[in-house]
Every structure is written in C-alpha cells, then in structure tokens.
Structure 1
C-alpha cells in the first residue's frame, strides 16, 4: 500500500483493509476518511468494516463517498468539514487514492482543504460566552457558516457551584453535555486551539488542524493556577482543603461544613482578576450561616484572608458586607495572600502587607476554602492577540482587538476591567455577535458593552446582596429600588439566584435569547 503525503495533516492511499488499521494507528494516524461508495467492486471492504476496525484501535472515521467524474461543490464541502472535525494526521483512501487527492484539492481551492477548513465566524471556546455568542449570531443570521472549537464534552453552570458548596444544589444539576448545547447551524470542532495567525486569519489546533475564518471570537475562559500555591495541588479534596471553584470539590465543601463541630476555618481570596470576585466570600457567609443555625458559630474561629485592600471592590456594597463580617465574628485579614499550604500538617502560610512592612504568618486550620490565582491560558498569553496582562487586548466598549479588526474577545479571557462573571458574558455576547457580523460585512462596530457585571452575594441562606455594577464601579441595577435594593440583603434576590437564574442561563442565554441583555448602540451614553 503506497501512502502519499499531501500536507502534514493529510495523506492519501489506495483501498485499505480492516487488517491494515492496526498498523496505521501504530504509525501515528488518528483518523481515516473513506471516499469510496460501498459495493463499487467485488470484494471491496465496506466502510462499516473499516470504521469498526478504526474504532477498535482508537481512530476516528468518516465516510465521504464520491463517484469518479461526478464530484461537485457539495462533495468538496463535505470533505472540508470532515477534515476540520477529525484529528490529524488523517488518511483518506479510495480505490487508487486519486479520488481522495482530487477531492482534497477541490476543498483546498475553496480555501478549506488539505486539513484547513474556513468559516465565516470561528468561535474559540464553548463555555457560556462562546455558546451564547454563537447562538446570538445564528438567531440574527442563520445562514452564516460558524464553528465552535471546544475540547470538553461537559458544560458547567459554574455560578451554581457556590450553591453546591452551600448544600443548596446537587452538583449534577450544574453539568450538561456540550453536544446538546451547540446551537443549531453551528459546527462543533472537538479540539483545543494552540496558536493564532491573525495576519492570515487562521487558528492552529493542538492536533495540527488549521482553521480559517472571516471573523474570530475568542472566549476560552481563564486558567485556574492551582500550582501557583505550593502544596495546594497535592492536598485538594483531602485534609480539610477544598474549593468551590471546581465541580468535583464543591460537594466536599458541603461535607466539611456539615461535619464541622468547631475549630478554625480559613477562607482565602487571591489578587485580582478572578472569576466572580464575590465567590470567596459567598462560601464563607453560607458556611457561617449554617454553623449559626446549628449553634456551632461560637465554637468556630473564622478568618477571611483577602489579598485585596478592601472587602469588596465597589464601595456601595461594603457596609452591608461588613455587617455580616461582624455578625459572624469573622477575623478579616486584608492584604493577606495565601502563598503555600501543608495539608498534612494543616498549616497555611500567608504573606501580609502591614503598612510598609511585609510579613509571613502561619495559620493552622481544621478546614480551609481556597481560591487559586487566575491567569490567562498559556496559549492566549503567548499569542499575538495578548495584552501585557496576558489576556486578550480589546476595546472595552466594542470588544474588538485594537490591531485586528475582525478579532473579538469576551468573557473571562478579555482584558477588560469589568467583573469576570457569567452575567458579564450574558451582556457581552450580543455585543460581540453584532460587531462580529458587522466586521464580516466590512463595516465598523455597531454595539457597545458598558461593563455590566452582577455578583449575587449570598450572605445567608435565603438572603442575597445583589451587586450590579459597570465600568468604574458605577451602579447598574436591573430592578427598581422598591423591588430590590441591591446594596441590602434581599429575599427576592435569593429567589432570583436559586430559581430564576439557572433556567435563564440554560434556556435563555445559551439559546441566544437576550432577556435583560439587549445590546446598546455604539455611542449611546451610560
């Protein structure tokens, strides 16, 4: 069997036999494409037989049958989609290999072949920001070609993890399959981005596939840097060390709080930026409230070590939060950063700024809720799209890159000064959708994002301080004061968090329904 190399990601060959697949897998192939119709000649192995052998050896398989002399644009498009979706290297075969080679050339002539697909809009990241933006785009323009690059098979409603750690939600209700959330009309490319070539409108994936685009939307989230705190990775999920920032650990938070009978409980918050700046406090307040109801708060020595110089970044919400710090008897340690942890000895080391002095203090613990430092993903920080912070440089209003007019970013990865919350992504998604479509049409941005973010601060079971604010800390309440006074704890805000926001997320935001998130025209004040 003679194998011809067309590109590093694609090779072609004559008809293969199921018995050949083991050797192909051993030589490094990860996918196979059959370009022959079944029963083209006697004794020909069927596509199903080769597919079964491929599956048995861990290879992906796709059947794109074409008839010699009758290949058209539809066949070339189908070949291009297969090459975009399958991990490389790919072996394509037909009777002699010539048909596969010709089909690859036809796809390449469309700007999509030889392992390279091209879409009107390419979305990097299938989390809340990516799915919401893709859905908003396709609701406006269903005929646009759009693909979402996302490696994970699972999708999480991360705002629910606070409630999981608080014993309110079961972890399972915060997880759904990614496949069921991909908007109709979008292609899901199962893979991870590795690098960007914005000068040539291309993205290279980890497996070597190259994807072209007319407009690019980047929203893969941020990186939870657990390894930045020595000792943390080795003890997470044991020795009383937990975090609501991971799906598998939030239930452990719940167990630790339920089994707590007294002792020292530490809660930490790293330097900004982090996902949901209120989440570290939420875990603490819900824990304290449970101990209060159980009559155990008097036996609890609770400390909050916050690396920031203030309890919360928007001053209007601080008085209400301070009242709960006092109510629960919490020892508030500002400008105190966790720098290492010894889970076996149950000792945490903090670096504290006190005036002009910096000191290191060891604190023992019975339980500790840790929030890790958070940074841009490595492939983002090393890319030509990155700002000095490592996050993607964008205009804060239009979410467009300052140098590349067809590149946009939103969600946690964008180098914007808003709070990194799901509510922010909900407001950003339609702005990115409108402006990406405008770029695709060769027009200037048309919509603006005002920095809105929301942080429902769960200060006790049944009450929430609904913090809503935009750029510069400007208060941006959704509801009138007579309904919800955001700077004070509210039972109605708890109802919003517990009952309304989850379905709004799953059935509204991720479906492109822009309830309470209509984009503002560019140039409008406020």
Structure 2
C-alpha cells in the first residue's frame, strides 16, 4: 500500500533520519507527549511553539500517520487510500523532538517513560494521547479470517481497501456489519459502511438478492436519541435489518459463518446465534494499551484517570490526557480530541508558565458525521456528557444533507492536515456563534 505513495529509497531516507533523530534525543524534556495521532499532534504542535524548540518530545512508534476518519470513504469506494496518510516525520512539528519508539511503561512517581528498547525519558509534564488498541484477537477466528473470503474492516489500514473490493464481489446472500459491546473510536463508523454498501448494491442491481444486516452489542443504534431516531429511519427506509444486543464472538472464515452472543437481560440473554455471510465487515473490540492499563495512572477500566472537565490527572497534577486513551465519558472521535486539545493546552500552559490551577473546562463536545450515501450525511454533534445536541449550523443536522457530506468529505480533511495537526483547529465552537447563535454551547 505504502509503495504507491513513497518509493523505497525515500522511505529508507526518512527511516534513517528518524533513527538518527531518535538516537540523538536528549533524555529529559519539559513536556513529553505519548502519541503522534490527531490528539497528540494537536497538543504538541502548539506546546512546542510556546515552550521552545526541543522542549517537547513526541513518543510515536508508527512511521505513518493516518487520517482515520477517511477510512469509511475508502471502504465505500469514495476516496483513494493514498489520500489518508503521510509520513509521521512530516506531520510532527519541527519544534518538537520525535522519538520513534513505543512507550512501554509510565512511572508517574519518577516522572519517566520507559521506551520499548528499555531506555528512559524524563519529563516535567506528561500528556498521554496514545489512542486505543484494536483487539482483533478478541473475537475467535477473526485473525485467521480477516482480509480473506469476504471479511474486512475499515478500522485497519491493512484491511480497509479489502472492504470495497469484497463489496464489489458480493452479489447475493447476507452482508453483515458489526459493532462490538466495548468502547470504540468513531462509534458511528460500523453503521456508516452498511449504508454505503446498501447504495453500492442498489447501483449494481443486486440489492434484492442481498440481506443487509447490522448487528450491535449495544442496546441502541446510536447513543443520542435525536440521532438514533434518524438512523432508525434511515435503516428502515433502506430495508437494513438492525439487530440490537448482538455481540460478535466468533468468525468461521472457511464456513463463512459469524456467531453472535445475545447481550442484555432478556429471555435469550447469554445464548448465541450463528449467521452465514457472503460479506462481513467487522468492527473489532478495542481496549486500552497495556502500558497504560498496567500503570499507576489508569483507572479501574484501564484508561488514563483524568478530571472530565479540566483533563488533568486526578492523582498526578503534572499529567494530562485526551483522546481515546482518556477516561473522559464521551465518544472517541477526532472532533472530541480537537475540542479537548483547546482545554488541555490552556490549562497546561497556565500551569507551566504561571503556576495556575486548571480552570478551563471541557463540556463533552464530540461529533460523529454519519455518512448515509454518496452526498448524504447526518451530522451528529452533541455533548457526550449530557446527550444534548450542540449543532454548528442552523438547519436540523439529524436530516440527511448534501452540505454536511461536502463538509465532512472535502472540507474537514483539509482542516485536519492543515490546521488540527498544527494545533490551530479547536473545533467549531467559535464559528457556531455566527452559524447557529441559538445553540452556542
């Protein structure tokens, strides 16, 4: 995949430069940021500019940075995979030091992070933005089945291109789309690809031969009622079968069968049901990384234990967290990370430069653009803390709209590369005062 974007020679040169920068790194920094994803870069770009060159280190093992919100469009055949990634060295601020290793251990008492090679990096302040781990091994048989025989996942750069390929080759039988019972990033993505698949099947003239089934381990199709009602209507209008409280537990890739455990407290709870498939899109269960879960900064569920308003750690005041690895009880999306980054940066800078206690508060804002077809999208914006819609525009964003699609497919990707990763995009709250003044939360 990457060969289509970079020559082997250019990759070798970038790897050499990365290795050299890592080996030459000092071992102590004013601020260490664990994670070079959207959340980590939004913070490190701003803080490295404010604190000065090489006062900030970014610990990130991946050589490639992916714009993951675009994976749905790739899986649906609407975007090219090559537009979703860039070399990590190109998106980390030149003022920050990139350490191209994985974090292996956090010791908040000694203010150190141990790297995969056993070396230690010291910090005065720490921001944890490590994301969340895809757990393909959490479903029996999935590791052997995925990428073959009609089984794909938009959540992995390794398999996302298989989604569109397998959809094109599906002409009859059951097409299954799954959502696990665990917390996941971008909780709308499991159903978005079902709507795109339905549209593709109709364009091919085979929709009447295919049963489109959406299975979720949760009790609702979407967490917020306003948008849940809209998605039920979309699914009903497309003849997509919605199966609540069905959690995928096993995939038999040879026999092409998927087994679901029935969740909840109903009369069939705990039982399992096996369904044959021709196409299966799997959203894997997800979990905190072990180096966080096993550390003293984690809560009982393995997420970084931070104050949901200030993003400061509840026990260690020189540690903050944001994004998917944090304990913040809101949806795990890039939009949430953008809003969180604004709060975190203001609170952390005030603490570093002026000794202030954190006072800026995050209200749980997040957004989930629910693609329902080519040029159609429901733009869900809300507080994950209260379930209250916080819509940026004056029209009803629970309705499918071409403008919402254009904004998500064409405008937001440019904002992502050119503003969010550079720390200058903090979400739409500032423009909402003009575009929807009656809903300015």
1:449 match:
362
1:178 match:
88
Query: In terms of mean alpha carbon deviation, does 361-370 or 137-146 score higher?
Result: 137-146
In structure 2, list runs of 5 or more residues that go unmatched.
1-12, 431-439
Distance in 2 (alpha carbons) for counterparts of 1:158 and 1:167: 15
Give secondary structure in 2 for the equivalent of 1:361: strand
Indicate the structure (1 or 2) with the bigger Cα radius of gyration. 1
Distance in 2 (alpha carbons) for counterparts of 1:352 and 1:266: 16
Answering whether residue 428 of structure 2 is matched by residue 514 of structure 1, we say no
- Aligned-residue RMSD, C-alpha: 2.1
In structure 1, list runs of 5 or more residues that go unmatched.
1-54, 63-80, 86-111, 520-524
Q: Describe the superposition over 1:282-305 as per-residue Cα deviations: whole angstroms up to 9, x where unpaired.
A: 010110011123222111111111
Match of residue 427, structure 1, among 325, 339, 343: 339
Distance in 1 (alpha carbons) for counterparts of 2:212 and 2:427: 38
1:388/1:146 CA distance change after superposition, 3 Å: same
Give secondary structure in 2 for the equivalent of 1:454: strand
Answering whether residue 385 of structure 2 is matched by residue 459 of structure 1, we say no
Distance in 1 (alpha carbons) for counterparts of 2:220 and 2:363: 24
Give secondary structure in 2 for the equivalent of 1:372: coil
TM-score of the aligned structures, taking structure 2 as reference length = 0.90
2:311 match:
399
1:503 match:
414
Match of residue 324, structure 2, among 399, 409, 412: 412
Give secondary structure in 2 for the equivalent of 1:511: coil
Match of residue 472, structure 1, among 386, 390, 396: 386
Matches within 5 A, 1:158-177: 158-177=68-87
1:346 match:
256
Query: In terms of mean alpha carbon deviation, does 201-210 or 161-170 score higher?
Result: 201-210
Q: Describe the superposition over 1:80-115 as per-residue Cα deviations: whole angstroms up to 9, x where unpaired.
A: x87663xxxxxxxxxxxxxxxxxxxxxxxxxx6xxx
Deviation at 1:428, TM superposition (A): 1.1
Answering whether residue 293 of structure 2 is matched by residue 381 of structure 1, we say yes
Q: 8 Å contact 2:338–2:426 — kept in the other structure?
A: no
Distance in 1 (alpha carbons) for counterparts of 2:133 and 2:19: 32
Match of residue 123, structure 1, among 25, 30, 33: 33
Give secondary structure in 2 for the equivalent of 1:313: coil
Distance in 2 (alpha carbons) for counterparts of 1:415 and 1:510: 22
Q: 8 Å contact 2:195–2:373 — kept in the other structure?
A: yes
Deviation at 1:182, TM superposition (A): 1.0
Deviation at 1:272, TM superposition (A): 3.4
Deviation at 1:478, TM superposition (A): 1.6
Q: 8 Å contact 2:172–2:206 — kept in the other structure?
A: yes
Aligned length: 414
- Give the ranges of 4+ consecutive aligned residues of structure 1 lying more than 3 Å apart after TM superposition: 81-85, 138-144, 515-519
Matches within 5 A, 1:132-143: 132-142=42-52
Distance in 1 (alpha carbons) for counterparts of 2:50 and 2:326: 24
Deviation at 1:142, TM superposition (A): 3.8
TM-score of the aligned structures, taking structure 1 as reference length = 0.76
Give secondary structure in 2 for the equivalent of 1:211: strand
Matches within 5 A, 1:298-337: 298-337=208-247
Give secondary structure in 1 for the equivalent of 2:421: helix
2:4 match:
none
Q: Describe the superposition over 1:249-271 as per-residue Cα deviations: whole angstroms up to 9, x where unpaired.
A: 11111011122212110111001
Answering whether residue 276 of structure 2 is matched by residue 361 of structure 1, we say no
Answering whether residue 405 of structure 2 is matched by residue 494 of structure 1, we say yes
